[in-house]
Amino acid sequence: MTYFDQGIKLMSQPPTNQKEDVLEGVIRFQLSWNKNPLADDICLETLELVRSDMLRQQLIGQSAERYQGYGFGNISQRSEQGFIISGTQTGHLTQLARQGWCEVTDCDPMTGKVSATGPVKPSSEAMSHAIYYQLDPAINAVIHVHSPAMFNAASQLNLLATAADIEYGTTEMVTALQQLFLSCRPLIANEKDNSPNEKGNQPLLPHLAVMSGHEDGIICCGSSLQQASQKLTDILTLANALT
């Protein structure tokens, strides 16, 4: 049993992070990184295909005209040990191959600690991905994108959104995403430790949220990469129709 099978204690009062100006893509968690190749049996084909589709729609990528030239967006899929996620600042690459992915094997959102193995460090949004995998075993994919169209149409489309003063890559963001997810269909909690009860109702998937304090940031989770990416494409289509 891995850390991601054990559930988590619900966070009601996370540690308060000192606010500071942080450049896009900077890792803000404590990382324990084992710089080794991914296991040979890890398949990346679907991840690469869906990532290519997100690149085509300019939801993931890198541009001198956007976000100070830093790469944006990331994608992950559940694995036996945790989840496979695109590496930090890989948005300029059309294909990542095995050199551009890593496996997060442990993540504690309460303390902001992440453990990962792979040839590259995990995306700066690894904690935001981790919270979804820990909340619901039905979630097998998470995609974080940047879309001015979706971001600006959030109110018109009645999209769920975090508070504007919550920054990316922080325990506060993790808590906010958790609360939005659970608000859709509350889980029955274990009274002893406040962890989700396996008999509780499962929130509806796919699930999408706007990260209001993260410029143009959108995150979506689903039972599969195809489900999550289709949700993003559908919302983007609706947002573009409003412009």
| 15-46 pLDDT tens trace | 333 333 444 456 678 899 999 999 999 999 99
Query: What's the predicted TM-score (pTM) here?
Result: 0.85
Per-residue pLDDT reduced to its tens digit, 105-158: 999 987 889 999 999 999 888 999 999 999 999 999 999 999 999 999 999 999
Joined tokens for residue 172: 């506060």
Residue 149, Cβ neighbours under 10 Å: how many?
A: 19
Token pair listed for 217: 């940031």
Confidence check: pLDDT of 189 > 80? no
What is the mean predicted confidence (pLDDT) over 68-84? 93
- 132: which 2 tokens? 């979804």
Q: What is the mean pLDDT of residues 57-64?
A: 94
Q: What's the farthest any 2 CA atoms get from each other in the chain?
A: 51
CB 119 within 8 A of CB 206: no
pLDDT tens readout for residues 149-186: 999 999 999 999 999 999 888 889 999 999 999 998 65
Amino acid at 89: Q
Nearest alpha-carbon partner for 115 in 128, 102, 125, 133 = 102
Please name each of the domains of the chain with its CATH number: 28-62+69-242 (3.40.225.10)
